[in-house]
Amino acid sequence: MINIFKLSKDSIMKKVENAGFPAYRGKQLIDWIYNKSVFDVESMTNLDKEFKEYLINNIKFVTLETLKIIEDDKSETIKFLLLLGDRNTIEMVIMRYKDKDSSKNRNTLCLSSQVGCKVKCPFCATGTDGLVRNLKAEEIVQQVTIANSFLKKYDTKINNVVFMGMGEPFFNKDEVLKAASLIKENYEISSRKITISTSGVIEGIKELADKELKYVLAVSLHAPTDRIRDFLVPINKKYPLNELIKACRYYQTKTKKRITFEYIMINGMNIWPDDARQLANLLKGIDCHINGIPVNSVSDSEFERPKKKDIYSFKKMCEKYGLSFSIREEKGTDIEGACGQLKNKERK
């Protein structure tokens, strides 16, 4: 049996026709899955008995089970704990950004690419148990369908995808790029609405550049010096800042695309005036935007969230040096929305 979520729409059509069914059956199947977000064969009411039997015997549909869903009071952040076929668990988060003009509404899915993570950034709950395994492309893609199925009650769908959930996407590069391609085609989400975030894996950044893939690149920077970044992002010892920034410049030369740098803001650690100056020097000449993220409080963490005045003071200092800087709109702090928090809580 083949998992349908590893197939493109064209591949689904060919498989159905090769099995001896008319082309319209493939179109009906695609409509149920990608337009109606229905993946129970018996609920696909316009399919005949023979085609349903073929699907049941030859096609594997969703292999992820939803264990738990938690929503904030405004239903703007919805967090899912998902069970994989091997009994491991992952998380994904829907973030709904509502606008007075409904055409500008955004539904962003933060999805996972690994079970656990070997980067082990000390402020992140995901890496506490290290890496268990990579997700397959179809396990990544299924997260979008599960999200769309949930959003049907709001008569809306996912229109932005960010690989910022559990795991380092470029340590599962082949499956992540395969999943991104399937998401782009099957869910009709453009490349500029798909973001791949990395903690600084240079090979992945260069491959994105060389293949001229138009996805948005986000780099978890978090510090302007190797001394601090070695601690906050341990793979910095393998991919130091000078090499990472060189790769980012290479990416920009090849793609002409702006880069987003994620910057976790930690009280007393990386938001001093000298940090702003060093950050500006580090990124000089790169077309980029800094996404400032006040640190989430993780159980037993040594990291403190800065005071609001200190957060905005650092933003102003960065802007004074010519950097484009915004504070990420926070969602999910009241439901432990940060990566790995729900998984760890449920396990305990």
Provide the annotated active-site residues.
Answer: 91, 339
d(CA 84, CA 63): 7
Place of tokens 């302007």: 224
Residue 333, Cβ neighbours under 10 Å: how many?
14
The two structure tokens encoding residue 266: 């930690």
How is the beta sheet containing 106-110 ordered, strand by strand? 65-71, 77-83, 89-97, 106-110, 160-163, 194-198, 216-220, 259-265, 288-294, 325-327
Q: Are 83 and 142 in contact (CB under 8 A)?
A: no
Show the CA angle centred on residue 178, arms to residues 172 and 181, nearest 5°. Answer: 135
Q: Are 244 and 170 in contact (CB under 8 A)?
A: no
Give the single-character DSSP code of 242.
H
Q: Are 109 and 100 in contact (CB under 8 A)?
A: no
Task: Provide CB contacts within 8 A for 324, sequence distance 6+.
Answer: 288, 289, 290
Strands of 56-200, DSSP E: 59-60, 65-71, 77-83, 89-97, 106-110, 114-116, 131-134, 160-163, 194-198
The two structure tokens encoding residue 169: 């996407």
The continuous run of DSSP H or E covering 312 comes out as helix 308-320
Give the single-character DSSP code of 300.
T
**What's the sign of the alpha-carbon dihedral 293, 323, 189, 127?**
negative
d(CA 170, CA 160): 19
> Alpha helices of 196-240 — where are they, by DSSP H?
202-210, 226-232
